[in-house]
Amino acid sequence: MEIQRAGGLRIETGRKQTTDALRRTGKELSKILERLASARRINRASDDAAGLGVAEQLNTQVRGFKMAERNVEDAMSALNIAEGAATEISSMLQRQRELAIQARNDTLSDDQRQQLDVEYQNLSMEITRIAEGTQFNTQNVAGGTGLASGTAQIQVGPNEGDVVTMPAVDMTSIGLGIAGTSIADSVSASGALSAINNAIDAMGTQRSTIGAMVNRFESTQNNLMVAEVNTTAAESILRDEDMAMGLADLTRARLLQESGMRAFKRFNEISSNHILGLLQQ
């Protein structure tokens, strides 16, 4: 009788162990299915606390890279708008230079020079109007204020110190040094010609600066795109599920579950037979 009781105890112990193993296998199978369904190895902090912290930091960087790319794109757009205005202003400076050369010629009378000066003065006013009216997102980009002030900063990266200062651009008549010049007489025309030559040089310098900054921003943008791709890949390695390994784990867990269920069924049969044997005595 004692032997039968001991045997019954071993059977119950084995059945409990099998039940616990089935429960663990069920939980593991549930996690594997969740990872495969979401395609992510880490779905909650308990899956991998350290890995989640690193992955979240990488995700922060990726989102920062994306926004920085937009910032750089906007900055290039603003500079391209300024370059468009510079092209037209350069043409007007060349026309003013032609008028100054013409007025410098003493074959003209002062009355004729004054007639030329009317066009000259209107060109000066139009240069200032274009420079002050050229804007990006309501901010000036060619008149020495707003984005053209030389103090505007562009966030070109995901971190606090990743900034680039926009160049100072002033294409107004005052900024170019032609404000107040005149070709109404021969002496004034001579001074105007010198001032316009300096203004053309200044415009060339500003346009070169704008072009160089656009090229710099293009390089920055290319670097941001590469960094975004590489950082996204690094995050994926940490966070995403290895589907091949996940399927292998799924197969293993299902085999364990099936084996456990067969063992549990067998323990139930043995237990029933054991109890029946006790009743028959």
- From the CB of residue 252, how many other CB atoms can be counted at a distance below 10 Å? 14
220's tokens: 């920055």
Cβ-contact 29, 253 below 8 angstroms: yes
Query: d(Cα 70, Cα 228) in Å, to the nearest integer?
Result: 13
Query: d(Cα 279, Cα 261) in Å, to the nearest integer?
Result: 27
For residue 136, which of 117, 155, 115, 152 has the smallest C-alpha distance? 152
What is 49-239's CATH topology?
Answer: f41 fragment of flagellin, N-terminal domain (1.20.1330)
pLDDT tens-place string over residues 249-267: 667 767 666 666 666 666 5
Cβ-contact 116, 186 below 8 angstroms: no
| Low-confidence residues of the chain: pLDDT under 50 | 1-7, 274-280
For residue 250, which of 26, 32, 25 has the smallest C-alpha distance? 32
SS3 144: coil
- From the CB of residue 249, how many other CB atoms can be counted at a distance below 10 Å? 18
**In terms of DSSP H, where are the helices of the chain?**
2-38, 49-104, 110-133, 173-176, 186-239, 243-280
For residue 171, which of 263, 264, 84 has the smallest C-alpha distance? 84
**In terms of DSSP H, where are the helices of 106-185?**
110-133, 173-176
Query: d(Cα 145, Cα 185) in Å, to the nearest integer?
Result: 34
What 8-state DSSP symbol labels residue 148?
A: G
pLDDT of residue 18: 63
Query: d(Cα 172, Cα 126) in Å, to the nearest integer?
Result: 9
* Cβ-proximal residues to 74 (8 Å cutoff; 6+ apart), any chain: 136, 137, 154
- Amino acid at residue number 187: V
What predicted TM-score, i.e. pTM, was given to this entire model?
Answer: 0.73
